Structure formats: C-alpha cells, structure tokens
C-alpha cells in the first residue's frame, strides 16, 4: 500500500502560523519575526527535495527557522533585543486595574527575556509560548528529554533571577 503525501506547499501553509509563533519566541519582535518566518518558509521550499517524507515535518522545518532566526539575531547583535509583543487574552470584562497589572507583568517578563541568552529564550519559547511537549522539544533540538528538562530548569531559574534583578 502506498501512502500519498500532501503537496509540499500544503505542508508549509499548514505550519505557517506555528513557524511565525516560533520566530516571535526566538526573535521577540513581531515584524522582524514575520520576516524571519517568511525567509525560513522560502528556504524550506527551496530545500524541499532534501526533506525526507518518512520523518516528521515540523522538526525539519523548525531547524530551518532556528538557523534563520539565529542568523538574524547574529546580524543585530549590537542592537537591543526587543521583548515579546504584548498579547492580552480576552476575559470577561477586565477592569482597568486588571489590564494595568497584566501589562506590567508582560513588560516585566519582556524585559527579563531580553537579558537571557538565545538558548534560554529558545527553550522557554518552545515550552511555554508554543506549548510543545518535552518529546517534541527533544526532537526539534536533537537532544535527550532529560537534557530538555535540565535546560528548561536552568532557563527558568535565569528568567526568575532576571525578573528579581529588574524589580
């Protein structure tokens, strides 16, 4: 029995938003992340002949994004790294105080994330912003799940320390 695979363009389209979110997690700024995500999708399309369809698609695509994003970060090393864009989750009639508290908390996390190294920002983004499992992170980064857990532990400690310093 032969399995049919969707056209490559459909795979890219299906993961477009996920790749954008991953780029925001690494880059931090939405406009630049959109450019990086688009560049990564174009690179993936150009490399489509090198994709092994017997393997999961997202880890392959994420590695292309990761390399593209880290290249972009290296090019802007001398500039300040912007934080994560504010995303307010809609809830039932938030008060002005609720909104102010949420905005302050987002700003605190944004500032603390800016001080972290690329590895810490990436693993926190994969787990907490993209909500990937340890197994998925393990596959994407090519490391053991135990290593994922220890890196997350260190990244969380670094984030907490950076948040305490900023207070």
> For the segment 79-112, what is each residue's pLDDT rounded down to a tens digit?
544 444 444 444 455 555 555 666 677 677 777 8
Span 32-59, average pLDDT: 91
Span 19-37, average pLDDT: 88
Domain assignment of residue 2, yes or no: no
Q: Is pLDDT above 80 for 1?
A: no
Domain that residue 107 falls in: 93-167
Mean pLDDT (the chain, rounded)? 81
Give the pTM.
0.58
Same domain, yes or no: 41 and 68: yes
Cα–Cα distance for residue pair 91/100, rounded to 1 Å: 14
Cα–Cα distance for residue pair 138/123, rounded to 1 Å: 10
pLDDT digits (tens, 9 = 90+) for 60-81: 999 999 999 989 888 876 454 4
CATH number at residue 129: 1.10.10.10
Same domain, yes or no: 22 and 74: yes
Same domain, yes or no: 61 and 113: no
Query: Percentage of the chain with pLDDT > 70?
Result: 80
Cα–Cα distance for residue pair 123/127, rounded to 1 Å: 6
Residue-level pLDDT at 146 = 92
Same domain, yes or no: 149 and 98: yes
Residue-level pLDDT at 25 = 84
Indicate the Cα dihedral angle 114, 106, 153, 79, nearest 10°: -10
More confident residue, 107 or 27: 27
pLDDT digits (tens, 9 = 90+) for 106-123: 677 777 887 888 889 889
CA 97 vs. chain centroid, Å, equals 30
Cα–Cα distance for residue pair 40/36, rounded to 1 Å: 6
3-state SS string for 17-64? HHHHHHHHHHHCCHHHHHHHHHHHHHHHHHCHHHCCCCCCHHHHHHHH
Task: Show which of 43, 64, 85 is a domain's final residue.
Answer: 85
Cα–Cα distance for residue pair 129/25, rounded to 1 Å: 7
Span 8-23, average pLDDT: 89
Cα–Cα distance for residue pair 130/19, rounded to 1 Å: 10
From the list 145, 2, 141, 167, the residue with the least C-alpha distance to 62 is 141
In this prediction, residue 125 has a pLDDT band, given cuts at 50, 70 and 90, of: confident
- Token look-up 């490391």 returns 143
């Amino acid at each position: 029995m032969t399995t049919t695979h969707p056209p490559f363009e459909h795979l890219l389209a299906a993961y477009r938003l996920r790749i954008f979110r991953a780029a925001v997690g690494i880059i931090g700024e939405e406009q630049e992340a959109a450019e990086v995500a688009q560049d990564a999708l174009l690179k993936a399309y150009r490399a489509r002949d090198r994709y092994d369809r017997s393997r999961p698609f997202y880890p392959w695509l994420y590695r292309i994004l990761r390399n593209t994003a880290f290249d972009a970060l290296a090019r802007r090393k001398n500039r300040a790294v912007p934080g994560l864009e504010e995303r307010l989750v809609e809830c039932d009639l938030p008060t002005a105080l609720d909104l102010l508290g949420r905005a302050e908390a987002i700003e605190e996390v944004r500032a603390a994330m800016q001080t972290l190294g690329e590895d810490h920002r990436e693993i926190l983004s994969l787990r907490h912003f993209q909500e990937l499992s340890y197994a998925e992170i393990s596959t994407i980064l090519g490391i053991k799940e135990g290593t994922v857990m220890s890196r997350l532990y260190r990244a969380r400690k670094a984030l907490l320390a950076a948040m305490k310093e900023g207070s």
